[in-house]
Chains A and B, each alone.
Chain A
Amino acid sequence: MKIYSNQNVNVEQVIPFPDEVHTTDQEWWMIYDADTKVIAIEPLQCSGYTSSSFTMVISNTEEELLEYIKQNNLIYSVNKI
């Protein structure tokens, strides 16, 4: 399955088990473990194709991802600096 994000969409895309999901350098995205709620990749802007056994969330703004983290009680890694 390949899901391509749409820069014009303002709401988050939540993609379990992303398989080569494309992001542009304008989009914000993050990865978290839906079972433990631990964030594996904190919100970042980075173009590329991402695959993971976790859940990917894509948005147009960092703020939306931070709100998503808050609403879903996600946990920052203990190694956060």
Chain B
Amino acid sequence: MSQTIEITYPEQIQKINIANGTNLYAIDLSNFNNLVDLTCTNTTLQKIYGFDGASTLISGIDLKNNQIDTFFNLSNKTNLRYLNLAQNQLIGYIPALSGSPLLRQFFCSRNNLSGPIPQLSSLTNLVEFKCESNQLTGPIPALSGLSFLKVFLCNNNLLTGSIPALSATTNLVYFYCAFNQLTGPLPSLSGLTKLLVFHADNNGFTGSIPVLSSLTNLVEFKCESNQLTGPIPALSGLSNLSIFNCNTNRLSGSIPALSSLTNLTEFLCNTNRLTGSIPALSGLNNLQQFICHTNRLTGSIPALSGLNNLQQFICNVNQLTGPIPSLDGLNNLQQFICSTNQLSGSMPSLSGLTNLQQFICNTNQLSGSIPSLNSLSALQQFICHTNQLTGFAGGSVSNILGQFQAQNNQLTSTPVNAILAAFVAANNTTGVRVLNLGGTNSAPTGQGITDKATLVSRGWTVTTNLI
């Protein structure tokens, strides 16, 4: 049921504040000649009438999270400092903002806006501009005169062209332009000493990663899924860096020293053309993810002991040599994947890795025995095929371990029988279950033959040799 609330003396009203209204449809601002602040958030508001004739004194408009579908003309709102229209149903273009030279904060995120981002160069007081998650097209406008700009978010649009020069935006703290169709080189970031977050991922950027060494406050740098070339720049002074993600580019050269990045939590550079060895990771006690698979890395895996927060170490499809280092104490490790390298030596003890879900080291030159999988209660995949393994340390396996692939090793009948017996005892009867002990291994014998049949009767897919 619609209701109308009339204000007897609208010219005396300076502030309107409405929140969480469920039956609100429209506000008529005609005759609110002295209105300074309009706040109406989280309602069903769809229409603003009389905005053109409303007070030119208005400085703050917060209409976040309503159902407004039409942008209003801002050309005579010369005192406007704050405009928030995020999370509405706006369609059409963003109007010119040049008539509001005092504007400090402009938010129109999460609407259905199209067309270009308007010129911003005259908004010399602009501090925050957010227009992410629309369908905006065209280039990012020049930002060079915006010396107070701290936040610029335009991610998840259809923007084209290159990022404009940022060297004069010396107060910039957050810059997001991910998930657009931007091209060209990344701009110089030198001098942006306040920059905390730079996200330019999932675009078509070319050229090299800019110099980052002066960005001592940088916390997140994400440029994954572009076409960047050249080396990863030096990161050694970036003591606050937490996330560095440049995967799926065409980067070459070696991984720079990381040992001083004590706040690093994620280092992701998979699917590039990186060469050289993995740098020392000792001391990176906050490191949770180190993912550099599908490169051309050589040398040995560095010591991982002490990395108590490490959850994922994924370096498959490289040319790594030497042994797998000790994993003792890595109680948070969930995935260790180093398949398709040239690793040698024996497999490490997995004892105590109670969070380990995937251990994948197939297609290497590992020898010795498959370690005990006792008490690895989270383990779901253990894949060690195509190595030179000869034994099994024995013991039980988890009842959620559903993929065990150890084919093409040199397992004799004794370890093959022991593995089959362990899986029968575990009695995993859910999900896809695969046990492969075929290839160059010996065939099961005696009870092992019976155990294979038992597993198949329980829904397992089992491959072995036959005597």
B111 within 8 A of A: no
A10 within 8 A of B: no
Contact A41 B434 (CB under 8 A): yes
Contacts A40-B432, A47-B438 given; does A52 touch B461 at CB 8 Å: yes
Closest chain B residue to A52 by CB distance? B461
Contacts A46-B407, A48-B464, A49-B465 given; does A77 touch B432 at CB 8 Å: yes
- Which residues in B have their C-beta under 8 angstroms from that of A77? 432
Closest chain A residue to B335 by CB distance? A81
**Interface size in chain B (residues, C-beta < 8 A):** 30
Closest chain A residue to B293 by CB distance? A81
**Interface size in chain A (residues, C-beta < 8 A):** 20
- Which residues in B have their C-beta under 8 angstroms from that of A31? 434, 461
Interface string of B385-403 (1 = CB under 8 A from A): 1000000000000000001
B360 within 8 A of A: yes
B426 within 8 A of A: no
CA A77 – CA B360 in complex, angstroms? 15
**Cβ distance B320 to chain A, nearest Cβ, rounded Å:** 16
Contact B461 A54 (CB under 8 A): yes
Contact A51 B436 (CB under 8 A): no
Interface string of A58-81 (1 = CB under 8 A from B): 000000000000000000010101
CA A22 – CA B464 in complex, angstroms? 10
Count of chain A to chain B residue pairs whose CB atoms are closer than 8 Å in the complex: 65
CA A22 – CA B452 in complex, angstroms? 15
Contact B463 A46 (CB under 8 A): yes
A33 within 8 A of B: yes
A53 within 8 A of B: yes
CA A20 – CA B452 in complex, angstroms? 10
Contact B464 A46 (CB under 8 A): no
Contacts A20-B466, A51-B456, A52-B456 given; does A79 touch B380 at CB 8 Å: yes
Contacts A46-B407, A48-B465, A79-B358 given; does A53 touch B459 at CB 8 Å: yes
Contact B438 A51 (CB under 8 A): no
Interface string of A25-42 (1 = CB under 8 A from B): 100000101000010110
A1-40 residues with Cβ-Cβ distance < 8 A to B are 20, 22, 25, 31, 33, 38, 40
Task: Find A40's partner among B316, B339, B434 (CB 8 Å cutoff).
Answer: B434
- Which residues in A have their C-beta under 8 angstroms from that of B462? 50-52
Contact A49 B358 (CB under 8 A): no
Closest chain A residue to B337 by CB distance? A81
- Which residues in A have their C-beta under 8 angstroms from that of B339? 81
Interface string of B417-439 (1 = CB under 8 A from A): 00000000000000010101111
CA A40 – CA B463 in complex, angstroms? 13
CA A46 – CA B408 in complex, angstroms? 7
CA A62 – CA B360 in complex, angstroms? 22
**Cβ distance A54 to chain B, nearest Cβ, rounded Å:** 6
B271 within 8 A of A: no
CA A19 – CA B434 in complex, angstroms? 15
B280-326 residues with Cβ-Cβ distance < 8 A to A are 314, 316
Contacts A79-B380, A79-B403, A81-B337 given; does A50 touch B432 at CB 8 Å: no
B381 within 8 A of A: yes
- Which residues in B have their C-beta under 8 angstroms from that of A51? 452-453, 456, 461-462
- Which residues in A have their C-beta under 8 angstroms from that of B463? 46, 48-50
- Which residues in B have their C-beta under 8 angstroms from that of A50? 438, 461-463
**Cβ distance A81 to chain B, nearest Cβ, rounded Å:** 6
Closest chain B residue to A18 by CB distance? B461
Contacts A20-B466, A53-B459 given; does A48 touch B381 at CB 8 Å: no
Contact A81 B316 (CB under 8 A): yes
Interface string of B351-392 (1 = CB under 8 A from A): 000000010100000000000000000001100010000000
Contacts A41-B461, A79-B403, A81-B337 given; does A46 touch B438 at CB 8 Å: yes
- Which residues in A have their C-beta under 8 angstroms from that of B314? 81
CA A33 – CA B436 in complex, angstroms? 17
Among B403, B456, B460, the one with the most A-chain Cβ atoms within 10 Å of its Cβ is B456
Closest chain A residue to B461 by CB distance? A52
Closest chain B residue to A56 by CB distance? B461
B337-351 residues with Cβ-Cβ distance < 8 A to A are 337, 339
Q: Which residues of B contact A (CB under 8 A)?
A: 314, 316, 337, 339, 358, 360, 380-381, 385, 403, 407-408, 432, 434, 436-440, 452-453, 456, 459-466
Q: Please provide the 10 A-B residue pairs with the shortest distance between their CB atoms, ordered closest to farther.
A: A48-B438, A52-B461, A50-B463, A51-B456, A48-B463, A40-B432, A46-B439, A46-B407, A49-B466, A46-B438
- Not counting A48-B438, A51-B462, a sample of 17 additional A-B residue pairs whose C-beta atoms are within 8 angstroms of each other reads A20-B466, A22-B466, A38-B432, A40-B432, A41-B461, A46-B408, A47-B438, A47-B439, A48-B407, A48-B436, A50-B463, A52-B462, A53-B459, A53-B461, A79-B380, A81-B316, A81-B358
For this complex, 10 residue pairs linking A to B, each with C-beta atoms less than 8 Å apart, are: A25-B439, A46-B438, A46-B439, A47-B439, A47-B440, A48-B436, A49-B463, A50-B463, A52-B462, A81-B358
